[in-house]
Structure formats: C-alpha cells, structure tokens
C-alpha cells in the first residue's frame, strides 16, 4: 500500500522490529522521544512538523502525492505515499490500519476534516495499537453535522442562524417562514463548497433537488448580510474531561471567494464573549482535542452567531504557533495522557496571511474592498506578520504548496466550486 522507497527500516535504532503486529506500549514518559505519524499533506501540518522535530520526535508523514508542501518540507523524518483519503478512502483506511498494526506508532496526528473523520470513526481499533487526540465518533457526528449542530444551538439559546432541514416535505413551511434570500448548504461539507445563496422561494422549489443530487442532504439557513458582518473563529483545545484549556480568537478580514469562503488573512484578537460561547458549546458537546468554531457578526443587531464547528485545527494554524501556543505539544499531551495546562494568554495582533490566496483575493476584489480592508493588504513586513506556508527555515515547503495549488486550480471544477458557479438548475 505504501511506496517501497519510503517504508521505515525493518529495525529501529532501539531494536524494535517492525512488520510484526504491534500492541499498544505503556504510556510514554513526559519528554520521551516519540514516533508520530502525520496523516495530512496540507499547510496546517507544517508548523506541527517543525515543532515536533525541534522537540526531538520522529515524524513520519503519509502523503498521496509528491506535489505538496509536506513532501517538500525538510522536517519529516520519513515520507510515504499512501492512497488518497479523498479518492480512495477504503484503501487509505486499510493502509492506515495495516500500518499501525505492524509498526510502532506512538501518536497518530490528524489535522484535516477528512483524516479527523476517519480517525474518530476507527478510533477503537486504532487505539489498540497507537494513541489519538480525537473525540468519540458520536460526539464527532453531532458536531460536524451542520443541521444537528444548529438544532443543538437553537435548543440552548446559543446564537446561530435560524436553520431547517431542507426536504420536499419542509418546502412549504420553509418558504412561508423565511425572508429571502436564504443560504442553502450541505449538512456535511468542507469550506464554501456547495454553499448557495437562493434569492426567491420559486428558485428554491425549482432547484433543491438538483442541489441535493450534487451535494447530498441539505439544510436551509437564514441569510446574514456579508456587508458589515465580520467573521471570526475560535481555536479551542479541550482535555480528556472536556474542559476547555485553550481558546484563541481570530478575526478574518479577507476571503477567497471574496464574499465568503476560505480566509486569506487572519489576525489574533481578544474577545471574551466568543471565548465564553466556545466554552459553553464545546464543553456541552463533550468535545475532546482541537476544534475550530466559526462565527459571524450579524450587522443587523450586533450579535455574534455560531456558524459551524470544524473538527480540527484551522488550515492557518501557524498563527497560533506564532502567537505563542504550541498546539503540537497539546496534541501529544492529550494523546499520551499528560496533564494539559490552561493557556489564558497569547499574543494579539499577529497577522498571518496565505500569499497564494491573498493574490486571488486581490484579483477578484473591487476597489472599495482594496481601500477599506484592515489590516492593509499591502502590509507585508513587521515583527507580527507571517505567512501560513512560506518561511526561511523551510523554503522548499513553499515551493511544494505553490505546485499543489497550481495543480488544483488548473481544473475548471475547482474554480466552479470556489466561486459558486453552479450549473443552471433544471
């Protein structure tokens, strides 16, 4: 399943043989050198790789191609080509289970939506051979199903957009209850893919079946105006007892697509109200490990509303490391049963950007956006300014990221999904 040239050696330096069935070893001591298997090749993995290596750990990485930032990075100890969890999910899962059964992996690290879902679902089997930092699957499902999450929030008076299940049986009620336009989105989805603004009840009735055929089960949601509605996210980390130990709040001034999608720039801020809502939400759900909670400011009444929970760190998590929070250490501590300290202070004003996506924002934004965006698009230097990918101590990772993004954006379907250009509905 994995490329022969990237397989770990048959015998480790400590004498442990691989290739035989491995049982879970005793809990590692604090500060002990660990073997960590990272399952993702995206930019969010890069600061984890750097910090894990600097702390003396061995880092193995599973990639599904060689054109990505992790493969080009200097920090992995070993790199392996595995089946893609996007295109060959069953093969990826078999490879993962076979690997942890036959190699000593102290901690499994997942930092994407897809790998997090797989590790949570297979958690019981995986933890016979290694350690994870994910919640149980029932909790995972309740948080990542956007309809169930919104129903949970509405039942507990946690501010969120009014949301209904979009089914043929509900259509009449929805058309009578909502003021249009409305937002239609998949119950399970990543980023802005499948998110559609529907202008009229007639358009919703005519088009919902085609949307469901393309994106699966849908929900319909109250539209919150983008103009004047700043978006935020909370990067939280909870311990084994579902107690929130970390909550870093980020403001998201720019996106691609420009009206809402993947954030291209982030700034750390302090916001007590968002921290408290995040604590109430995640502790109530019984969450464990990392969670990224998205919020939007409703300009009509000034309330800040929950949009969704992403079951992992943000793609731009480098901002957290730059603000002084070692998320790699938090994951290892949770996985290995070590105490997790409460981190109540971090550096505010850290300005973290994604150069590639920022260029796309600049190309597609209008003149007013360019003039009014804050922090300024043209602020590229300074002690608190950093990039999500590019760094002088790991320069080739930036090359890998550029090749990866260029390859993705060569496909018309990528532009259609990112820009919301869905084919005309019958």
pLDDT tens digits along 3-21? 544 454 444 433 343 444 5
How far is the C-alpha of 206 from the C-alpha of 385, rounded, in Å? 47
Structure tokens at 250: 């980020």
The answer to whether residue 415 is domain-embedded is no
The answer to whether residue 250 is domain-embedded is yes
- Same domain for 264 and 335, yes or no, is yes
Residues 6+ apart with CB under 8 A from 186: 146, 193, 194, 215, 216, 217, 218, 219
- Same domain for 121 and 37, yes or no, is yes
Grouping H, G, I as helix, E, B as strand and the rest as coil, residue 164 is: strand
- Give pLDDT tens digits for 142-151: 999 999 999 9
- Same domain for 277 and 374, yes or no, is yes
Q: Name the residue among 294, 260, 328 with its Cα closest to residue 110.
A: 328
- Mean of the per-residue pLDDT values of the chain: 90
Residues 6+ apart with CB under 8 A from 11: 17, 18
- Same domain for 201 and 329, yes or no, is no
- Same domain for 177 and 122, yes or no, is no
- Give pLDDT tens digits for 169-201: 999 999 999 999 999 999 998 877 788 999 999
- Same domain for 44 and 120, yes or no, is yes
The answer to whether residue 95 is domain-embedded is yes
The answer to whether residue 281 is domain-embedded is yes
| Percent of the chain whose predicted confidence (pLDDT) is above 70 | 89
User: Is residue 420 over pLDDT 60?
Assistant: no
By residue range, what is the domain housing residue 283?
231-397
pTM of the predicted protein model:
0.90
């Amino acid at each position: 399943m994995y490329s022969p040239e990237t397989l770990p050696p048959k015998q480790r330096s400590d004498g442990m043989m691989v290739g035989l069935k491995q049982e879970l070893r005793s809990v590692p001591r604090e500060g002990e050198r660990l073997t960590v298997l990272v399952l993702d090749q995206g930019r969010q993995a890069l600061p984890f790789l750097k910090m894990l290596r600097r702390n003396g750990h061995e880092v193995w990485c599973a990639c599904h191609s060689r054109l990505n930032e992790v493969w080009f990075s200097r920090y992995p100890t070993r790199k392996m080509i595995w089946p893609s969890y996007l295109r060959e999910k069953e093969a990826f899962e078999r490879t993962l289970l076979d690997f942890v059964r036959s190699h000593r992996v102290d901690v499994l690290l997942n930092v994407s939506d897809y790998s997090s879902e797989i590790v949570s679902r297979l958690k019981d089997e995986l933890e016979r051979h290694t350690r994870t930092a994910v919640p149980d699957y029932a909790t995972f499902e309740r948080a990542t199903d956007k309809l169930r999450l919104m129903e949970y929030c509405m039942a507990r008076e946690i501010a969120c957009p009014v949301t209904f299940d979009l089914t043929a049986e509900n259509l009449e009620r929805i058309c009578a209850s909502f003021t249009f336009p409305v937002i239609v989105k998949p119950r399970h989805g990543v980023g802005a893919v499948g998110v559609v603004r529907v202008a009229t009840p007639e358009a919703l009735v005519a088009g919902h079946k085609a949307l469901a055929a393309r994106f699966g089960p849908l929900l319909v949601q109250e539209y919150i105006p983008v103009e004047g509605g700043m978006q935020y996210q909370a990067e939280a980390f909870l311990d084994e007892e579902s107690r929130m130990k970390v909550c870093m709040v980020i403001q998201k001034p720019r996106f691609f697509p420009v009206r809402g999608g993947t954030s291209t720039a982030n700034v750390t801020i302090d916001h007590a109200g968002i921290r408290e809502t995040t604590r109430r939400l995640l502790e109530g759900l019984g969450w464990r490990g990392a969670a990224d909670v998205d919020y939007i400011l409703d300009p009509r009444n000034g309330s800040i509303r929950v949009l969704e929970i992403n079951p992992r760190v943000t793609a731009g998590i480098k901002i957290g490391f730059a603000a002084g929070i070692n998320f790699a250490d938090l994951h290892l501590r949770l996985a290995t049963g070590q105490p997790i300290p409460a981190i109540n202070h971090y550096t505010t004003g850290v300005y973290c950007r994604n150069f590639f996506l920022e260029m796309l924002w600049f190309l597609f934004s209008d003149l007013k956006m360019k003039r009014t965006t804050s922090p300024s698009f043209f602020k590229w230097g300074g002690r608190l300014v950093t990039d999500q990918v590019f760094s002088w101590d790991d320069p080739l990772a930036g090359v890998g990221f550029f090749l990866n993004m260029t390859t993705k954006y060569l496909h018309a379907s990528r532009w259609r999904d990112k820009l919301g250009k869905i084919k005309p509905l019958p």
